């Protein structure tokens, strides 16, 4: 397991790569040897979840569901719980949060260019989008042939929570998990202070870091300043409306939410983005701390 570590004041910082980006674990009150063991524990958990949810690894649970060609697939308990969560998010967001919408990426290439897909191309994909078309009866899922699910929209945040919960049980003091900007702290610093973390601000195209302060719980950001299309002065962000197949209009560049868990924060941030112009109004009703960048 490739993890690296360094002492940073009274903290130990462990670094590894997973979930398509840099990950960092901050630990209090550990000597170097035990800190590295804890970082390895968190890294192993993160990679285990990444593996399971990967659409590309042919031994992962999600791959098995997508490759079944219309046949029912019985899933393990953890995947089943995530599918239950995906179903709840779909219902709670009025159909906006949809783990079947990833297939629309076949039509859209958010590479900063100006190539919009043809309306026909998008329309042809729409029959393959919609959680309501999925037969999900715990623990068995049946996707109509040609449809795919992508749990990537939950996976990174879920992994941050799982890794943090492992550390909460195993570490001698407080710990912070940062999986590419999705954060979960097990407890405030032992002196009661907040954790200070530098995360790349996805709302800014110069990749500047922003310093975030959090005491405990989860913090997640939705949005990516580099994944968009610009055509005729209109910016098309990468979040797609599963009903139209087109980017949500008027969405903020990025939304950051603080919630008791990283998973809740991530879902709220994504659903806020999917509300487009109403992102702030949606967040105002949720009673959580949040920041929108437009």
Chain residues in the site for another protein (CB under 8 A): 78, 81-82, 84-85, 88-89, 92-93, 158, 161-162, 164-165, 168, 172, 186, 190-193, 217, 250, 259-264, 267-268, 271, 275, 277-282, 284-288, 294
Q: Which CB sits closer to another protein, 9 or 287?
A: 287
Residue number, 24 or 28, with CB nearest to another protein: 28
Minimum distance, C-beta of residue 144 to another protein, in the bound complex (Å):
24
Minimum distance of another protein from residue 169's CB (angstroms): 9
Q: In terms of CB distance, is 23 or 107 closer to another protein?
A: 23
- Report d(CA 254, CA 234) in Å as an integer: 17
Q: What residues contact residue 292 under an 8 Å CB cut-off, 6+ apart?
A: 252, 254, 255, 272, 279, 280, 283
Q: Given the complex with another protein, which of 54 and 186 has the nearer CB atom?
A: 186
Integer angstrom CA distances of residue 211 from 8, 195, 197, 214, 267: 16, 10, 6, 10, 22
Distance CA 226, CA 203 (A): 9
Find the shortest distance in angstroms from Cβ 286 to another protein: 5
User: What is the closest distance, in whole angstroms, from the C-beta atom of residue 62 to another protein in the complex?
Assistant: 15
- Given the complex with another protein, which of 78 and 200 has the nearer CB atom? 78
Query: At closest approach, how far in Å is the CB of 32 from another protein?
Result: 20
With vertex at residue 233, the alpha carbon angle to CA 230 and CA 235, rounded to the nearest 5 degrees, is 40
Identity of the residue, 147 or 185, whose beta carbon is nearer to another protein in the bound complex: 185
C-beta neighbour count of 228 within 10 angstroms:
19
Nearest distance in Å: CB 75, another protein: 13
CB of 4 to another protein, least distance (A): 27
């Amino acid at each position: 397991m490739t993890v690296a570590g360094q002492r940073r004041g009274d903290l130990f910082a462990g670094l590894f790569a997973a979930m398509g980006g840099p990950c960092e674990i901050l630990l209090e009150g550990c000597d170097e040897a035990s800190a590295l063991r804890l970082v390895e524990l968190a890294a192993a958990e993160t990679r285990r979840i990444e593996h399971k949810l990967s659409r590309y690894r042919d031994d992962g649970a999600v791959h098995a569901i997508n490759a079944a060609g219309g046949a029912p697939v019985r899933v393990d308990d953890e995947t089943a719980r995530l599918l239950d969560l995906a179903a709840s998010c779909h219902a709670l967001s009025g159909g906006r949060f949809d783990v079947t919408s990833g297939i629309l990426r076949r039509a859209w290439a958010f590479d900063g260019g100006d190539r919009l897909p043809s309306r026909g191309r998008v329309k042809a994909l729409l029959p393959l989008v919609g959680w309501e078309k999925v037969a999900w009866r715990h623990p068995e899922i049946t996707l109509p042939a040609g449809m795919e699910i992508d749990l990537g929209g939950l996976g990174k945040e879920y992994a941050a929570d799982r890794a943090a919960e492992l550390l909460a049980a195993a570490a001698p003091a407080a710990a912070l998990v940062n999986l590419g900007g999705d954060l979960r702290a097990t407890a405030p610093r032992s002196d009661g202070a907040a954790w200070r973390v530098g995360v790349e601000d996805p709302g800014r195209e110069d990749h500047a870091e922003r310093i975030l302060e959090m005491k405990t719980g989860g913090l997640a950001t939705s949005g990516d300043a580099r994944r968009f299309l610009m055509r005729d002065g209109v910016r098309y962000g990468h979040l797609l409306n599963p009903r139209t197949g087109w980017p949500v209009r008027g969405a903020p560049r990025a939304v950051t939410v603080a919630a008791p868990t990283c998973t809740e924060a991530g879902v709220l941030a994504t659903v806020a983005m999917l509300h487009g112009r109403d992102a702030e109004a949606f967040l105002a009703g949720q009673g959580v701390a949040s920041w929108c960048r437009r």
